[in-house]
Amino acid sequence: MDVVTMTKSPLAELAGLVGQGRVAVLSGAGLSTESGIPDYRGPTGRSRRAEPMTYQRFVGSAEARRRYWARSHVGWRQIGRARPNAGHRAVAELERRGLLAGIVTQNVDGLHQAAGARQVIELHGGLDRVVCLSCRERTPRAELERRLLAANPDWAASGLINPDGDAVLTDAQVEGFQVVDCTGCGGLLKPDVVFFGENVPKPRVDECFAVVAGARALLVLGSSLMIKSGLRFVSKAAALGVPIAIVNQGPTGGDADALLTVDAPLGATLTGLTALLEARSGPEPGAQ
């Protein structure tokens, strides 16, 4: 499929595609950068080189878990305070107007839901939940944060925040941090997100593929599509002949399959898109 790089009238081209409805949205870290959360490969992520935690290291090493939870405890201060930006609100408005088939997000920040979106599949889980690896009970992250504060009343540290919600800390900063376990069974607690080296549950992946397969178009927002996790849905859409539009700052791994590409800030672009769609459709029934 030829790539059309939109330069003259990007919003008009995008509105023509989205305005037909039944659009599947695939969002990535670039959508949340305007909320203060860094991305992985875009402009805010290039200076962050911390090695991500793998599932194997997390379950196999008490020291690795202590380091992870110390870093995540610091990072949650920023992630937990983050609020939806104009891009999240625009996506929620598209859903409210009945134009979306569903939202698949690679993000773990919960900002789509906080903006009011309802049809959201969290591909990699959510940082606002914690799961016990023994009894599988899920509890709110806020509850764990209260327990960590109680277990570490005199501990304080700060560091550069990573996209997955942890902070860059030194060995000296991590030393002495106390980890807490499941209150029900004493098992290991883990954020309810998919770590590197861990597979996304197959039913969740199948649900995402079904959203793409049932869509009239696929709209990719803020994802570099440099790893299989997100790119596979673009490949699926291309194989099915579903038109693909990508809004991202910088090139992506899916550009070759895209019908439309927009290299621009997400918030302003999506706000302009919703405004144009509203202007084209006129006032909603019953509006004064």
Helix 141-151 / helix 62-79 crossing angle, nearest 10 deg: 110
Give 167's DSSP letter.
Answer: B
Neighbours of 236 (CB within 10 A): 15
Residue, of 6 and 190, whose pLDDT is higher = 190
Looking up tokens 């673009």 gives 234
Residues in the chain: 288
3 pLDDT more than 50 = no
φ/ψ of residue 211, rounded to 5: -60, -45
φ/ψ of residue 92, rounded to 5: -60, -35
Residues forming a β-bridge with 100: 23
* Order of all β-strands in the sheet with 189-193: 138-140, 125-132, 189-193
Q: What is the pLDDT of residue 281?
A: 79
Residue 112: active-site member:
no
Could you please report the per-residue DSSP string of 81-137?
T----HHHHHHHHHHHTT-EEEEEE---S-HHHHTT--SEEETTEEEEEEEETTT--
Give 32's DSSP letter.
Answer: T
Specify the amino acid at residue 177: F
- CA–CA distance from 101 to each of 136, 144, 216 (Å)? 31, 34, 8
Q: Which fold has domain 1-37+84-124+199-283?
A: Rossmann fold (3.40.50)
**Looking at domain 48-81+127-193, does it have CATH number 3.30.1600?**
yes
Q: Which of 218, 243, 255 is nearest to 27 (CA)?
A: 218
Domain boundaries, the chain: 1-37+84-124+199-283, 48-81+127-193
Q: Could you tell me which residues are annotated as the binding site for Zn(2+)?
A: 132, 135, 182, 185
Q: Could you tell me which residues are annotated as the binding site for NAD(+)?
A: 106-109, 222-224, 248-250, 266
* Order of all β-strands in the sheet with 4-5: 4-5, 260-262, 244-247, 217-221, 23-27, 100-105, 120-122
With beta carbons less than 8 A apart as the criterion, state whether 48 and 38 touch.
Answer: yes
pLDDT per position as a tens digit, 41-61:
554 444 444 567 899 999 999
pTM: 0.88
With beta carbons less than 8 A apart as the criterion, state whether 70 and 204 touch.
Answer: no
Q: Could you tell me which residues are annotated as the binding site?
A: 106-109, 132, 135, 182, 185, 222-224, 248-250, 266
pLDDT per position as a tens digit, 127-167:
999 999 999 999 999 999 999 999 998 887 665 666 566 66
pLDDT per position as a tens digit, 175-221:
889 999 999 999 999 999 999 889 999 999 999 999 999 999 999 99
Active-site residue, from 73, 88, 112, 124: 124
18 contacts: CB under 8 Å, gap ≥ 6: 94, 99, 217, 219, 245, 273, 277
80 pLDDT more than 90 = no
With beta carbons less than 8 A apart as the criterion, state whether 109 and 35 touch.
Answer: yes
